[in-house]
Amino acid sequence: MELRALLPRLPRGRPRLRPRNRLAVKLIALLAFVGPGLVAANAGNDAGGIATYASVGARYGYDLLWMMVLITISLIVVQEMAARMGAVTGKGLAELIREQYGPRWSLFSTAAVLVANLGISISEFVGIGAALGLAHVPVQISVPIAAIVVWLLVVRGSYKLAEGVFVAMTITFFAYPIAAILAHPDWGAVGRGIVEPKIHLTSAYIILFIATVGTTITPFMQLYLQSAVVERGMGPEDIPAERTEVTMASIFANLVAVFIIIATGATLFVHGDHTVSSAADAAKALEPFAGRFAEVLFAIGLLGASLLAAAIIPVTAAYVIAETFGLEKGIARRPREAPVFVATLTVLLLVGAVVAMIPGVPVIRLLIFVQVVNGVLLPVTLFFVWRLSRNEELMGEYRNGRVFDAVAALTVLATSALSLVLVGLTLAGKA
């Protein structure tokens, strides 16, 4: 008998995967791309965002939940364009603006980003101090430690380590669904709030509506995402996987926002407490209605959100400045390798931490000022994202398709108009 006859017969050609194995391979492939989209989308759920969503739930219950569906679609569209541009061109948004539209527009957007991100950075450290303050940790201890840890992570660590920590920080957002469940909402009313639009013709409602759009789609998210895709070394072949990641990340981030609205709607709104001045106040207010555990969960979510944004905001500003002037950039670059990049994020971290520790710092006024700057910057940023992603010479076969381009144009027009209305109301003293 031949030796071949004693060996087991092997199938010819490529081995076929069972359906379950195929799903596992797809999930593993997707997890390899988890990072930029998830970090960017959830960085938008920062201290200011949480305060806004808590205010929506406290003041209007579930009446504004329906708009989160529309905002989610808009966020997916905008984030997908930014990620696709990064993968195709290998350049950040600020660099493309400089090359395609000249230094004036690039300098304008850079200056606005720097001012806005400095203000947001301060508010994130205020959020860190407030979250740990609920556990009786003095702000003079919590804020400096947080700033040092973030600096070491983005300057002394590696890109993979930094991104891994950023992704891990998003785990804290799972605290909000649990807090919402502990609040015992009327799930039937929640469902009706999602599918039945309810519009109140009051200035307070309009302002909260616009503020929710603005805090969900902010300029730094697109700027960070595109630069992070470039730094990861993604190319056109990675677009399908990154598109899936961006979509899932946007849905997850906005589900977190929905659960914050549900938690505060089921407690503060139902019991007549319609005033929320900060995310920390919302956490304290949950305890009488949903228990101490709900307050702790809300605080954990606030801490994770503030830490994530406190890291992403300075990095985004550093990306933008380096791209605008054609300088070396990158997370984990040493000062001698990328001096301007490291100096920019160091200054933002230092100023943010120091100002946040000043007793009586006017956080509300600061947030209003940042809101105006972001309101001016958002239309400019979204316009460039849209125009560049549909540029055939720049994007080639990866430019926007007709249907997608129409949806993107509508998204840019709607969000920009709302943003400018909010700027007008704020400057008029009505916001």
CATH fold, domain 60-427, is Amino acid/polyamine transporter I (1.20.1740)
Q: Quote the Cα angle for 36-37-43, to 5°.
A: 90
**DSSP code for 278:** S
For the chain, domain boundaries: 60-427
Q: Which pLDDT belongs to residue 421?
A: 80
Angle at 413 between CA 429 and CA 54, to 5 degrees: 50
Segments in the chain below pLDDT 50: 1-8, 10-15, 17, 23-33
pTM: 0.84
Amino acid sitting at position 156: R
Q: Which of 81, 70, 69, 75 is nearest to 42 (CA)?
A: 75
Distance CA 142, CA 119 (A): 19
Please name the residue that has the structure tokens 């579930």.
62
Q: Output the CA angle 246-390-402, nearest 5 degrees.
A: 90
CA distance 153 to 139: 21
Residue 295 CA to its chain's centroid (Å): 23
Cα separations (Å) of 110 from 61, 78, 84, 178?
38, 19, 22, 39
How many C-beta atoms surround the C-beta of residue 186 within 10 A? Answer: 15
Backbone torsions φ then ψ of 408, nearest 5 degrees: -65, -45
CB distance 398 to 88 below 8 Å? yes
